[in-house]
Structure 1
């Protein structure tokens, strides 16, 4: 397990060439997958275009440097389409304010914890408004949405904090096998209860209610170059359904005013 401060500002070294090729400037996060997809690198001259290193090409994150196999793994940002898209969507996570699915602002993200091998985010540190010391870590299971300005979490996230993600993973109890097979009626009842209490569904409904009537702040285009919603379009149920059909719903939620 690593955290953002274990990476940021570290020099990046190419093993084959034995050469320092930049410094880790920031993390590019994929909000759909909850992963760190790229490291954004800063060269010796700050005014030149930045470079990017895919997280999958990171060999190791050491105490003194981040290593990658060869210089060829480093590319200009403008040459990596996926990196450009992540920069345009601008979901920093670090520094984002944290809001529960029932609309309670509980603080901000002051640290990100992730798997050093896969880049998968495992949790986010919560520091309450007006406090200097963190209250604890929100496990990824309690995170619903990584947004441009807000991290949306379950209603009980602030009482499910942990100080050790690894310890929590190691001690998560295994659910026992049921003593009997449920009947069809019992299954239907259980499904109904699960549906009622599903925080993701509740948030989805609230998010739709919030979007209806808002205006699109940036023209959204699908993968074929077709306009899904032009800038200034008033969001309706039809606009939302169209965005979902072409996998642009997340982008729609990011660019509203």
Structure 2
């Protein structure tokens, strides 16, 4: 599970190209499914349009980066009609007042908790303001994700939870069909490194790679081997090797 604040601001890294594709600026929420369908990625240049990464194309979300298989997964907003429709609905949740089914205003939402494997919103963090009451509103108590308001069950305050362990099983379950994706999201940077090692094998080294002690790890013109990759990792030169190869 990830908070919105833990996702926004992270760089998106492509596994195949070993490239940063820009930082996440916002989440695109689908109010009908109660899920994050896309991540908004900053434009390549300030004068260009923003781009999108579909949650289904996210390989993993870690503390330092979000990974996706290839840079082609990040696409222009204008190429995604479904995303444009959601953007026009402008569902933010964070900052919205909370209203019960019978029309009582009860505090505001200051965070959302997202299942990084499915994109589902597992809970909204609610705060009552001056009286200090707060807690997680499980998704099953949310009736409507509105543009300007979150509508919840009348008895939501009596069913708040204080941490993820208290959420309903459905909100934290790990479906079997998500096993591969789960492994990636549990340790996305390791997943990224493993994929990149596979990608490097057979590529041509474009400059000599030396250890800090001056020992040769790879010579210009050689093709990358598994042994070469292992030596680069051991010498903390894996990134340098990665950035200095060609097909």
TM-score, scaled to structure 2: 0.65
SS in structure 1 opposite 2:151?
A: strand
Cα distance, 1:134–1:21 mapped onto 2, change above 3 Å:
farther
Q: Which residue of 2 aligns with 1:100?
A: 100
User: How many angstroms apart in 2 are the aligned matches of 1:168 and 1:73?
Assistant: 32
Q: Which residue of 1 aligns with 2:245?
A: none
C-alpha contact (below 8 Å) 2:113/2:124 kept by paired residues: yes
* Deviations, residues 124-158 of structure 1 (Å, cap 9, x unaligned): 00012347x66111011110000010000001111
1:114 corresponds to 2:117 = no
* Deviations, residues 30-50 of structure 1 (Å, cap 9, x unaligned): 000001000001135344210
Query: Computing the radius of gyration over CA atoms, which structure comes out larger, 1 or 2?
Result: 2
C-alpha contact (below 8 Å) 1:139/1:165 kept by paired residues: no
1:75 corresponds to 2:81 = no
Greater relative CO, 1 or 2 (CA 8 Å, sep 6+): 2
After TM superposition, what 4+ stretches of structure 1 lie above 6 angstroms from structure 2? Answer: none
Q: 1:127-146 maps to which residues of 2 (within 5 A)?
A: 127-130=127-130, 135-146=134-145
- Cα distance, 1:166 vs structure 2: 2.8
TM-score, scaled to structure 1: 0.63
C-alpha contact (below 8 Å) 2:55/2:119 kept by paired residues: yes
User: How many angstroms apart in 2 are the aligned matches of 1:134 and 1:47?
Assistant: 44
1:29 corresponds to 2:29 = yes
Q: Which residue of 1 aligns with 2:61?
A: 61
SS in structure 1 opposite 2:168?
A: helix
Q: Which residue of 1 aligns with 2:153?
A: 154
* Deviations, residues 186-224 of structure 1 (Å, cap 9, x unaligned): xxxxxxxxxxxxxxxxxxxxxxxxxxxxxxxxxxxxxxx
Unaligned runs of 5+ in 1: 173-257
Aligned residues: 171
Q: Which residue of 1 aligns with 2:49?
A: 49
C-alpha contact (below 8 Å) 2:138/2:168 kept by paired residues: no
Unaligned runs of 5+ in 2: 172-247
